[in-house]
Structure 1
């Protein structure tokens, strides 16, 4: 592995607080209403859906990683990531401060223009990868963007600075 960067995302702690709070509410609802009260079942059903959604999100978006092994560039979250082969990369652009507004925030996002897919954990440094002949560009955060860009340049990829 030529380059590897990995970190835990800050919002994952919030999701786990929601999951734990949801479990506590489920226990309370079961004790108060049991399973025979239709009103209680509605609340329990809503909490189960919330628990499953937040639990899935907490596991899927727990870690964020960017890696390059000389042939493949991989980026994204545990259960939701992207990868591009070096020979299919047209260019890479270093962005010192990624603009989150076109993406509507952080996480795995499509921009409002419909041309980019973002794997974003904050406003910091990012790379924008333009694949050859692809209709999508990939934008992802990378704390060591210059180092990764140097490895990509050695592999024959054109590197641009914003």
Structure 2
């Protein structure tokens, strides 16, 4: 049982996060919409330890290697956390028989809301990206990207039973 949950978490978390990264890289190359700067996310995370809840624009320098590493580790850690939430919230039966609703709830809805109410405000973009000049486009982009993430979670999860 624990082995199944761990295997599910690693495969689904890794597969869906890689798929998301491919999607946002493709969009950046094709339409020019910038991908998340995980180095700046790392800078924000480092600031949390010093009591700085919101990344201000005072330090616009390029992120350091450590900030980039922290940001990317966080990004993949969150992917694993969302994968783990699926069997924790919906029960371990979802591992053997994946169905779409758990992946929509966790992979699309929960991850999108977390981005809009935690990550965007923390990065200085405001609650629901309200401080950004292209709020509607940003929210749509986030929904589509997390739809890709959720679809990749489900697709990867469909492969897991064959490996058990």
Q: Same fold (TM over 0.5)?
A: no
Higher relative contact order (CA 8 A, sep 6+): 2
Give 1 or 2: higher strand fraction: 1
Higher Cα radius of gyration: 1
With normalisation by structure 2, the TM-score equals 0.29
